[in-house]
Amino acid sequence: MGQHKHVRVAVIGSGFAGIGAAVRLRREGITDFVVLERADSVGGTWRDNEYPGCACDVPSHLYSFSFAPNPDWPRTFSGQPYIRAYLEDVVDTFGIGPHLRLGREVLSARWDTRELHWVVETDGRGAGPTTYTADVVVSAGGPLSDPRMPDIPGLADFPGPVFHTARWDRDADLRGKRVAVIGTGASAIQVVPAIQPEVGHLTLFQRTPPWVMPRHDRDITRFERAVHRAVPATGALRRRGLWTIRELQVQAFTRHPGELGLVEAIARRHLAKAIGDPDLRARLTPSYRIGCKRILLSNTYYPALAQPNVDVVTSGLAEVRGSELIGADGSKAEVDAIVLGTGFHVTDMPIAERVTGAAGRTLAETWRGTGMRSLRGATVDGFPNWMTIIGPNTGLGNSSMILMIEAQLDYLADYLRKLGSLDRGGRGRRAALDARPGAVRAWNDHVQERMARTVWNTGGCTSWYMDSSGRNTTIWPGTTAEFRRATLRVDPAEYDIVRQAPADVPADAHAPAAKEAVR
């Protein structure tokens, strides 16, 4: 028999966005909330990605919460175990543990137009299902949470281990084996040099070569860490410097892509220094402008590809016949294991299929034909009291997503304040805030207009930033400071108030809710 519980706020996911939301809720004095996590521990993508070599490509002092500085980062670019441990420490420091509901996958979330709350169904595995009702739902699952598995003929019948980098098979012993790596994104360029020395032979299937820049990584000395512990302002200053450099770079990506020529020259020199074979160098040289896809950082990727036990197939994987992999150019490779570095469901978030709004349509149905769209990356018309952290057009091409998360947490806090004042003034009738369709449309038209001249749209590549219709629904076309100003406060003119019907009015799930302007 399932359990039923009501909370003020239900947060979905316990990565950076979910943990950040939980901390912000407690700082706002809200303790009636739960964090629903489908896994058995916190950490999000930094829990799931345990592949060899996994690390962040943003400096650690910038890839952390401003309200929870860590003076003890061991390297300028710290590895996955340290980032996961940092998130676990934030949970402990800010008392989030009692709010966690681990092993609770959200199966569906439905807006109840009569009661003005969300009905969230969860699967508790051995603990049994639990239904939560929540005044507000914060979706914090993140875009890098659900791996994308490629549709390749014959892949399901491959006789050896097949696994995605985000679902690394710890039981698969790759030592001395013939291994294929599919893809050349951020995960693949970390996996390849990590496993190349121990495998018998490695075949990399590359559809499009990435631009790779030097990774200026080093140990952070004991002296530096001691200074950051003794004088916290030094750590804040370090963070500020890293942020400023990236803010100054933004215009090259968003307004003047031609200015990226110098960066491209550095990347070409980086490639030339590591790859002496002119044929291989030509196959590893991108034909699109640098920045169109995410610029990757590595000092070991190119040297690994130059080793005698590595082959690079530049046509991509077309078919699998038993243990034989067939490239689109007809090339063949016998392998014992396949590692998929094929990315994630970013522009088609699976959670959207499970969320049903006021009109009885899912979020996925609402976005069908238009692509993902929201108001200020957070709210969607027809889905009252629903907010997404790391929503449409909040991604970054050159800086730390933690900056964007914290900006959206400001927006969440103000949203809840305004909602609380409406409830207190509602004479016992609860209220909800619903984004106005015109406001959502105006915001997205503005974003797409700015996006049109960016390197992500004009650089001549096909990237995971784009949806199936060619819209860039992923990246923010400006600075993080601009986004923070745009999300500091909720603009009342962009929302309608939905009021709970009087008790004597018969319930009709399909009747339109009464709305009024926010004052």
Give the β-pairing of 201-205 and 105-112: unpaired
pLDDT at position 134, please? 98
Residue 472 has pLDDT above 50, yes or no: yes
pLDDT at position 142, please? 87
pLDDT per position as a tens digit, 140-172: 998 888 999 999 999 999 999 999 999 999 999
Mean pLDDT of the chain: 94
pLDDT per position as a tens digit, 342-374: 999 999 888 999 999 999 999 999 999 899 999
pLDDT at position 511, please? 44
pLDDT per position as a tens digit, 267-296: 999 999 999 999 999 999 999 999 999 999
pLDDT per position as a tens digit, 418-455: 999 987 765 667 899 999 999 999 999 999 999 999 99
Give residue 407's pLDDT band: very low, low, confident or very high (50, 70, 90). very high
Residue 514 has pLDDT above 60, yes or no: no
Q: Order across the sheet with 317-321: list the strands.
A: 317-321, 324-327, 332-334
Residue 517 has pLDDT above 90, yes or no: no
What average pLDDT score do residues 29-47 get? Answer: 97
SS (H, E, C) 368-399: CCCCCCCECCCECCCCCCEEECCCCCCECCCC
Residue 519 has pLDDT above 90, yes or no: no
Residue 234 has pLDDT above 60, yes or no: yes
What average pLDDT score do residues 228-257 get? Answer: 96
pLDDT at position 454, please? 96
pLDDT at position 516, please? 59
pLDDT per position as a tens digit, 290-306: 999 999 999 999 999 99
**Contact between 161 and 36 (Cβ < 8 Å):** no
Residue 512 has pLDDT above 50, yes or no: no
Tokens describing residue 40? 């058995």
Largest CA distance in the chain: 81
Give residue 510's pLDDT band: very low, low, confident or very high (50, 70, 90). very low
Distance, CA of 412 to CA of 140 (rounded, Å): 12
What average pLDDT score do residues 210-224 get? Answer: 97
pLDDT per position as a tens digit, 120-142: 999 977 667 899 999 999 999 98
pLDDT at position 368, please? 94
> Which residues contact residue 371 at a Cβ distance below 8 angstroms, ignoring those fewer than 6 apart?
347, 392, 467, 469, 471, 473
> Which residues contact residue 504 at a Cβ distance below 8 angstroms, ignoring those fewer than 6 apart?
none
Which of 28, 217, 48 lies closest to 142, judged by CA?
Answer: 48
Amino acid letter at 484? R
Q: Order across the sheet with 162-164: list the strands.
A: 162-164, 337-340, 178-182, 201-205, 310-313
Tokens describing residue 436? 């106005």
What pTM, to 2 d.p., does this model score?
0.94
Neighbours of 239 (CB within 10 A): 20
pLDDT at position 515, please? 62
